[in-house]
Structure 1
């Protein structure tokens, strides 16, 4: 018997895997043609999306979820992104689920702290 995860469960799996650096689990959550658009860039397809998540994962320390709201095939997660290069960054992530996978992701936050932190690293 195949069980399809809800939008809430997929969002939770996505963030848990990303925070743990478990990119194989993340790959299993994302649709092959996942479409990502965020403050720091865009990605088309699972390989580009994983590359972006791995890149930010290099400075990721913790994801502190404040609230997750899900309805039907949509989930929004509001969280503080804790990194080694910037103060915690309040972030909103919206996901659309199609055929049991994350197919579309939109992310927004104020990038100034992260950009300044990246600049200091260089």
Structure 2
């Protein structure tokens, strides 16, 4: 099976699992192939468009991540919601909701929401 066919057979849930696995490993090589050319990220701390900008932002978050514990994940045919606790900058873990939208085996959108006050105060 070629690489593109392999990517397209992954479920949105598997893609979201890889997204968080790469974040925890702080290695985004595997994730790059799963980002659509026009992917977009929007979150409390910023926005990013396109794979390079997207990965640059996620690498920045990962470099400041002390802990990341996934609590729950719910998925359907194209959307995944991941609820997780994020520890950054020595702040207490913050509850985060991450919505990942997948089309044709590629991440097209990610939206993240959380209360950043403790992270910003610690940073």
Same fold (TM over 0.5): yes
Question: Structure 2: which 5+ residue stretches go unaligned?
Answer: none
Task: Say yes or no: does 1:11 pair with 2:9.
Answer: no
Query: Per-residue CA shift, 1:51-108, capped at 9, x if unaligned?
Result: 1111111111221011000011000000001224311010000011011011100000
Separation in structure 2 between the aligned mates of residue 64 and residue 85 of structure 1, nearest angstrom: 15
Q: Is the 8 A contact 1:94 1:105 kept in 2?
A: yes
Secondary structure of the residue aligned to 1:67 is strand
Superposed CA RMSD in Å reads 1.1
Q: Is the 8 A contact 1:60 1:81 kept in 2?
A: yes
Question: Structure 1: which 5+ residue stretches go unaligned?
Answer: none
Which consecutive aligned stretches of 4+ in structure 1 deviate over 6 angstroms post-superposition? none
Q: What residue is the counterpart of 1:85 in the other structure?
A: 90
- The number of equivalent residue pairs is 118
Secondary structure of the residue aligned to 2:57 is helix
Q: What residue is the counterpart of 1:94 in the other structure?
A: 99
Separation in structure 1 between the aligned mates of residue 34 and residue 122 of structure 2, nearest angstrom: 30
Q: Is the 8 A contact 2:12 2:76 kept in 1?
A: yes
TM value normalised by structure 1: 0.91
Greater Cα offset, 5-14 or 60-69: 60-69
Q: What residue is the counterpart of 1:21 in the other structure?
A: 26
Separation in structure 1 between the aligned mates of residue 66 and residue 90 of structure 2, nearest angstrom: 10
Q: What residue is the counterpart of 1:113 in the other structure?
A: 118
1:41 Cα deviation (Å)?
A: 0.6
Q: How does 1:63-74 map to 2 (within 5 A)?
A: 63-74=68-79
